[in-house]
Structure 1
Amino acid sequence: SCQATCKVRLVTLELATILLQRLVIAGDTSYLSDAHFAVLMGAKEESASLLRNYYKREDMFGEMFESEDE
């Protein structure tokens, strides 16, 4: 989702990240290795950084999703 030509939306990546975390974390125990968790968080941070470059203001970001609901 960090590539300009990627067809995966950042919100899809975020939802997949949340789902994966819920599947592999039970209480205080994580069944995900530290290396895999680091890759997951790195992808999330890289995506967020890229998104900040395109949408400098929060209202622009919100307007983008409001138009999808119509």
Structure 2
Amino acid sequence: MNPSRCPCCGRRNQCAQAESATPVSDCWCFSAAIDPGVLDSLAPEQRNRACLCPACARGLAPPKPQSAAD
């Protein structure tokens, strides 16, 4: 599992801790309110391995990719 990817949607999770080789003192995920339903939906092997992305942490569906015609 890639620690810089959201285990829910696979997008970058924007976690400073996952993207840094050294410990960080602040990241959005340190104080984020996480939707418990999202955590419950993860398989046990996905838990505590990588941060959710901000959208999934709030329980929001990730935006749909735009097609080339858009």
TM class by shorter-chain length?
A: under 0.3
More helix by share: 1
More strand by share: 1
Give the TM-score, by structure 2 length: 0.25
